[in-house]
Amino acid sequence: MKISLGIIVTTIVLYLWGFLFWGLSEMPYSSWKQTADGAATQELMRKAFPESGTYFLPGFDHEPDQRSQLYEQGPVGFVHINLEGRPEMDPSIMIGGFVLNLIIVIVMAGFFKLAGATEFRDFARLSLGAAAIAVIAIHGGDMVRWQISPGWKIWQLLYDLSSLILAGHLLGIFMKAEKATE
């Protein structure tokens, strides 16, 4: 019962932390660049990208020599497109974020059980270590392999690191072993 309560409370706290970090603060978006004319750019995108999805330019549909030349002359891009559009504050993203947090917290609780964590310091160390490995592997990998702007990835890294550490510490409060009274 205590672990289930911990999972629910931790999920809600993570959701609120996400709202504060991404919803109330404009700082994470300070690294984004803007086009000169958003409406004209959207029209170009509709013409250039035939369907919703992720595109890497230049694509692999070119012969290797041509592709190498296109890479060298630039531009090179990694583009995520949703041609259908969506509401700016899409409720499905909010619901999906809550469900994702719940899954993360459940998996983290299982990880703690598997690791045999019993004292608060165990949960703190495990969450810090796992969070550091995860954010370096994921966000560092995106910066290195996909050349995603460090300015943008750092904000994602900071959010994920803080969320996982927060979740681990909060779960630790609920999951730590009760001290036997003598």
Segments forming the whole domain that contains residue 91? 2-175
pLDDT in tens, 3-38: 999 999 999 999 999 999 999 999 999 999 999 999
Residue 6 maps to a domain: yes
The count of domains in the chain is 1
In the chain, what percentage of residues exceed pLDDT 70?
A: 98
What are 172's two structure tokens? 């630790």
Which residue pairs, CB below 8 angstroms and at least 24 apart, start in 92-99?
A: 97/15, 97/18, 98/11, 98/15
**Mean pLDDT taken over the chain:** 94
Cβ atoms of residues 57 and 76 within 8 Å: yes
Residue 180 maps to a domain: no
pLDDT in tens, 79-128: 999 999 999 889 999 999 999 999 999 999 999 999 999 999 999 999 99
Residue 150 maps to a domain: yes
Longest dimension (CA), the chain: 77
pLDDT at position 179, please?
66
Cβ atoms of residues 76 and 55 within 8 Å: no
Residue 148 maps to a domain: yes
Q: Is the peptide bond before 87 cis (omega within 30 degrees of 0)?
A: no
Residue 107 maps to a domain: yes
How many residues make up the chain in this entry? Answer: 182
* Angstrom distance (rounded) from CA 149 to CA 147: 6
Residue 182 maps to a domain: no
Residue 20 maps to a domain: yes
pTM of the full predicted structure? 0.88
